[in-house]
Amino acid sequence: MAIPLFFVAHWYASLFAQTFFLHRYAAHRMYQMNKFWERFFFLFTWVAQGSSFLNPRAYAILHRLHHAHSDTAKDPHSPVQHPNIFKMMWETKNYYYGLLTQRITVAREFLHGYPTWNKFEQFAEGWVSRIGWGAFYVVFYLLMDPAWYWYLLLPIHFLMGPIHGAIVNWAGHKLGYQNFKNGDNSRNTLAFDFVTLGELFQNNHHKFPLKANFAVRWWEFDPGYFAMKVLNRLGVIRMRSKRKYTPDQIAADAPVSEQHVAAEPEVIEREMQEGVPVHTLNETYLK
């Protein structure tokens, strides 16, 4: 029993780190938090992703490029551009390391607003950390001494972060239904996305990259947004603006904005203090 519980705990902890911290915060800045909580979730991401820790800066840049070039030849991880999921994962890995080592350079517009912690990043990406976490998973399995077939789950523990990314990008751009014509192949794979905490509403998310709730229809549910609302209520984060979304607005099918990153933190801070609507670069659908 300990092994399935451990697997499920690792799956959801890693997934939460990815959707809440790397995706919604580092890449899109959907909410703000103070330095303490930013560092806390930085550490949480390291613990949760362990051997497959993903650097927030490289993740954010890679993901913004994905939004800007969704499913075109310039998209760093599109199933449309690759013959199978393994090839897509491999190419994504190469691109990710290119960004991490700054071998690949990208336009300045992609290079701002993500959390950084240089010394800790170097440690978390180092082989001591990666192998240490890998050894921890193996030792845990050995101590629990499960039937041999449970050991087949170990590679998933080793590569948890990239596997979640691959599932989201493969299924979310290949399988499911579309609410919007985004000019790409994005899909909503599940109406109740409990498997990836809301990440599989790719079609909705590509339409409105800054909308905190990835669900738009009344019967769609985004657990990641629910978690954000709880943390917002607890004062851990501050979500930016309340975005109302009505069926009329869905029907209006507003044009896709090319902007996908929220305004500079200082601008958001000032506007929040002054009590005026928070400025974003993607609010056309609110009108």
- Do 110 and 61 form a contact (C-beta atoms < 8 A)? yes
Residue with Cβ nearer Zn ion (133 or 201):
201
Rounded distance between C-alpha atoms, residue 199 and residue 169, angstroms: 9
196 near Zn ion, rule: CB under 5 A? no
At closest approach, how far in Å is the CB of 23 from Zn ion? 6
| Contact region with Zn ion (CB under 5 A), list: 126-134, 190-198, 201-209, 251-259 | 201-209
Rounded Cα gap, residues 211 and 284, in angstroms: 11
User: Measured from the CB atom, is 69 or 279 closer to Zn ion?
Assistant: 69
Q: How far apart are CA 260 and CA 40, in angstroms?
A: 25
Q: 164 and 18 in contact (C-beta within 8 Å)?
A: yes
Neighbouring C-alpha atoms within 13 Å toward the C-beta of 177: 8
For the chain, what percentages of helix, strand and coil (3-state, to nearest 5) are there? 55, 5, 40
C-alpha to C-alpha distance for 53 and 44, rounded to whole angstroms = 10
Binding window for Zn ion (CB under 5 A); candidates: 93-101, 149-157, 200-208, 213-221: 200-208
Of the candidate residues 19, 55, 202, 213, the single one contacting Zn ion (CB under 5 A)? 202
Candidate segments 47-55, 142-150, 194-202, 251-259, binder of Zn ion by CB under 5 A: 194-202
Candidates 121, 127, 184, 133; CA nearest to 158 is 133
Let me know: does 100 contact 58? Beta carbons within 8 Å. yes
Whose tokens are 């607005």? That residue is: 249
Rounded least distance, CB 36 to Zn ion, Å: 25
Least distance from C-beta 70 to Zn ion, angstroms? Answer: 6
In this complex, which beta carbon is closest to Zn ion, that of residue 51 or of residue 202? 202
Residue nearer to Zn ion on the CB measure, 202 or 213:
202
- The nearer residue to Zn ion, 10 or 23, going by C-beta atoms, is 23
Question: Whole-number minimum distance, CB 207 to Zn ion, in Å?
Answer: 11
Least CB distance to Zn ion at residue 24 (A):
8
CB of 147 to Zn ion, least distance (A): 38
Shorter beta-carbon distance to Zn ion: residue 51 or 185? 185
Using CB under 5 A as the binding criterion, the count of chain residues that bind Zn ion stands at 1
x-or-dash string of contact with Zn ion, 28-57, rule CB under 5 A: ------------------------------
Q: How far is the CB of 111 from Zn ion (least distance, A)?
A: 17
Q: CA 64, 216, 282, 14 torsion: positive or negative?
A: negative
Amino acid making up residue 4: P
* Ramachandran area for residue 278 (φ above 0: left; ψ -120 to 50: alpha; else beta): beta
Closer to Zn ion by CB, 92 or 202: give it: 202
How far apart, in whole angstroms, are the C-alpha atoms of residue 47 and residue 201?
26
Stretch that binds Zn ion, among 119-127, 145-153, 199-207, 265-273 (CB under 5 A): 199-207
**Residues contributing to the site for Zn ion (CB under 5 A):** 202
